[in-house]
């Protein structure tokens, strides 16, 4: 099978001309046609040119999923203007940094978020603001009927500057080309095994690669995107059934959250065949398949490598599979040598398609040099190969704690703790130790209707973890601050040791 990597802007125009009334997506149940998307995108692209915003400039967009957001993003793509997606949950200093670092010529924002943008913009020469919703003029721009007939941008022109989640520090702006987004969609097609007539449920925001990578998919697989404005665990399966979805996507603990919802007749009356995504723990895998009657298809990837690097299409539980046709993967030790089969090493990605790996981070040569070495992407992730050559993912190299002379993986501790019946979600960090290197602090969010007793949880963990892995500190929280992909923002968790349960203090008493 040949995989096209020449971009996707031309595809929208072709579909709009050949079948303008065909449904591209449904948003909260309302159909949106190819013709409408193309007309609104052209009008927005023409508006950019009228405002003096040329190809190669940047425009920041802080919008939740909506039909208008589709017109804006495709309009930016048509005009060759780099889209800077901004998480709608951003506030204060984090928002100020993104709007300063990306240097946008324009900020497009939902009306309720506009005050946050105005507060975050620098006082000197701020960019113009275009508001969507009450009191705004974006809808006027999108429905103006202006024509835009410039040629589509080159495949390696920047499509977006997508800032990484920033769970442990300042986010980095990944330069994503039109070629990379097309390959991301081709990768989704392979992972999900989507076929003509399928409907992919889209809860993830477009401002995250998990949502953005789906934009070209209807045009290359003849599917429909069934979009909703946001993720809701309590309404998830009802929305899925209402939309007639055949596929769901998971990231960052979504499967665990859904498993901990009360049993319902919807568990088996939804019509979904395949759940695809990244981060399904081996113990959750069979539980989810058995309860909801869907096939799990796991993958691994990074925004920096066209989103999807490997795919598991054989059902080997716990594996993220084998590389996309345009990638190969090596596992290297600290000296840059390949590790033995079964041993852990850093996941390093090679490509046979120039441009499939990102060109670098925006205005961050130090981070670019660390990630890109001799044309290879050093991911900072740990992996191993099984005897069949399947990649096994073991978490971030840096997401660990040095405790009692041992490196303790947060991924391993969290996946054990998440199995406790009262725990909905959890996160582990390292905190200062009175003696030695670090101590482990575990944060847990109770499941609805449940109560977490830290002492009882500590004893339960002690039976399932090595002594050096067992958290000394346990903090119970009402909620976690999350990234767009539902990952917990660990850098915002309290490193204090006096605001939580202390296992050693209990032992002394």
Q: What is the pLDDT of residues 185-195, one digit of tens each?
A: 999 999 999 99
What b-and-e string marks burial along 51-87, b requiring 16 or more CB atoms within 10 Å of the CB? Answer: eebeeebbbbbbbbbbbbbbbbbbbbbbbbbbbbbbb
Structural domain includes residue 162: yes
Work out the pLDDT band at 306, boundaries 50, 70, 90: very high
Q: Are 218 and 245 spatial neighbours (Cβ–Cβ below 8 Å)?
A: no
Tell me the CATH number at 492: 3.30.300.30
Tell me the CATH number at 164: 3.40.50.980
C-alpha–C-alpha distance, residues 145 and 390, integer Å: 51
Q: What is the mean pLDDT of the chain?
A: 93
Distances 302 to 106, 170, 209, 426 between C-alpha atoms, Å: 28, 17, 9, 23
Question: In the prediction, which pLDDT does 165 show?
Answer: 61
Minimum mean pLDDT among 9-18, 29-38, 87-96, 318-327: which range? 87-96
C-alpha–C-alpha distance, residues 331 and 390, integer Å: 12
Structural domain includes residue 82: yes
C-alpha–C-alpha distance, residues 255 and 262, integer Å: 14
Number of domains in the chain: 2
Work out the pLDDT band at 95, boundaries 50, 70, 90: confident
C-alpha–C-alpha distance, residues 64 and 131, integer Å: 13
Question: In the prediction, which pLDDT does 405 show?
Answer: 65
pLDDT of 93 strictly over 80: no
CA dihedral sign of residues 168, 170, 171, 173 = negative
pLDDT of 73 strictly over 90: yes
Average pLDDT over residues 3-27: 95
Q: How do residues 356-388 score in pLDDT, each as one tens digit?
A: 999 999 999 999 999 999 999 999 999 999 999
Structural domain includes residue 27: no
The residue from 177, 199, 221 where one domain ends is: 177
pLDDT of 436 strictly over 80: no
Q: Are 181 and 38 spatial neighbours (Cβ–Cβ below 8 Å)?
A: no
Which domain does 494 fall in, by range?
400-508
Query: Which of 94 and 108 is assigned the larger pLDDT?
Result: 108
**Helical ranges in 32-177 per DSSP H:** 34-50, 67-79, 92-101, 114-120, 138-142
Cβ-in-10-Å burial (0-12, 13-18, 19+) of 143 comes to middle
Structural domain includes residue 9: no
Average pLDDT over residues 333-354: 96
The residue from 177, 192, 213 where one domain ends is: 177
Structural domain includes residue 61: yes
Work out the pLDDT band at 408, boundaries 50, 70, 90: confident
C-alpha–C-alpha distance, residues 169 and 134, integer Å: 35
Q: Are 294 and 269 spatial neighbours (Cβ–Cβ below 8 Å)?
A: no
Look up residue 53 and give its two tokens: 């915003």
Structural domain includes residue 360: no
Question: In the prediction, which pLDDT does 252 show?
Answer: 65
pTM for the structure as a whole = 0.84
Question: In the prediction, which pLDDT does 153 show?
Answer: 98
Name the residue among 459, 489, 492, 485 with its Cα closest to residue 474.
Answer: 459
* Torsion angle (degrees, nearest 10) of CA 397, 400, 403, 405: -10
Minimum mean pLDDT among 121-125, 288-292, 332-336, 454-458: which range? 121-125
Structural domain includes residue 56: yes
C-alpha–C-alpha distance, residues 396 and 400, integer Å: 8
The residue from 177, 207, 241 where one domain ends is: 177
Structural domain includes residue 495: yes
Residues in the chain: 509
Beta carbons within 10 angstroms of residue 296's beta carbon: 20
């Amino acid at each position: 099978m040949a995989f096209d990597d020449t971009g996707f802007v031309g595809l929208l125009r072709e579909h709009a001309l050949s079948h303008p009334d065909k449904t591209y997506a449904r948003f909260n149940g309302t159909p949106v046609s190819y013709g409408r998307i193309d007309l609104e995108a052209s009008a927005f692209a023409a508006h950019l040119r009228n405002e003096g915003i040329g190809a190669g400039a940047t425009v920041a967009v802080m919008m939740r999923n909506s039909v208008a957001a589709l017109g804006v993003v495709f309009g930016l793509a048509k005009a060759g203007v780099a889209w800077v997606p901004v998480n709608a949950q951003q506030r204060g200093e984090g928002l100020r940094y993104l709007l300063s670092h990306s240097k946008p010529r324009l900020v497009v924002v939902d009306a309720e978020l506009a005050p946050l943008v105005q507060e975050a913009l620098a006082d000197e020469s701020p960019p113009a603001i275009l508001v969507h919703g009450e009191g705004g003029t974006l809808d006027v721009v999108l429905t103006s009927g202006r024509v835009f007939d410039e040629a589509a941008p080159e495949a390696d022109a920047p499509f977006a500057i997508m800032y990484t989640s920033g769970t442990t520090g300042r986010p980095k702006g990944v330069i994503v080309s039109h070629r990379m987004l097309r390959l991301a969609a081709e990768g989704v097609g392979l992972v999900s095994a989507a076929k003509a007539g399928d409907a992919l449920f889209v809860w993830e925001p477009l401002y995250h690669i998990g949502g953005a990578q789906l934009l070209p998919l209807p045009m290359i697989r003849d599917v429909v995107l069934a979009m909703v404005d946001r993720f809701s665990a309590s309404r998830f399966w009802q929305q899925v059934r209402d939309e007639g979805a055949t596929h769901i996507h998971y990231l960052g603990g979504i499967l665990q959250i859904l498993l901990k919802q009360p049993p319902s007749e919807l568990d088996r009356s939804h019509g979904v065949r395949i759940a695809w995504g990244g981060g399904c723990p081996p113990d959750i895998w069979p539980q989810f398949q058995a309860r909801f009657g869907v096939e799990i298809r796991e993958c691994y990837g990074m925004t920096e490598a066209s989103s999807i690097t490997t795919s598991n299409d054989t059902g080997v539980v716990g594996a993220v599979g084998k590389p996309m046709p345009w990638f190969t993967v090596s596992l290297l030790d600290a000296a840059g040598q390949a590790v033995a089969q079964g041993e852990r090493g850093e996941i390093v990605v090679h490509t046979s398609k120039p441009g499939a790996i990102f060109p670098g981070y925006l205005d961050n040569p130090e981070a670019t040099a660390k990630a890109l070495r001799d044309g290879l992407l050093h991911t900072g992730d740990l992996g191993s190969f099984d005897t069949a050559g399947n990649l096994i993912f073991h978490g971030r190299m840096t997401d660990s704690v040095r405790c009692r002379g041992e490196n303790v993986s947060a991924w391993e501790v969290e996946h054990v703790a998440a199995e406790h019946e009262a725990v909905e979600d959890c996160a582990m960090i390292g905190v200062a130790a009175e003696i030695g290197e670090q101590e482990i602090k575990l944060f847990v969010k109770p499941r609805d209707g449940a109560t977490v007793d830290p002492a009882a949880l500590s004893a339960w963990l002690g039976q399932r973890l090595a002594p050096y892995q067992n958290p000394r500190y346990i903090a119970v929280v009402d909620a976690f601050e999350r990234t767009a992909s539902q990952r917990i923002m660990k850098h915002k968790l309290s490193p204090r040791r006096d605001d939580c349960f202390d296992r050693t203090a209990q032992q002394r008493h």
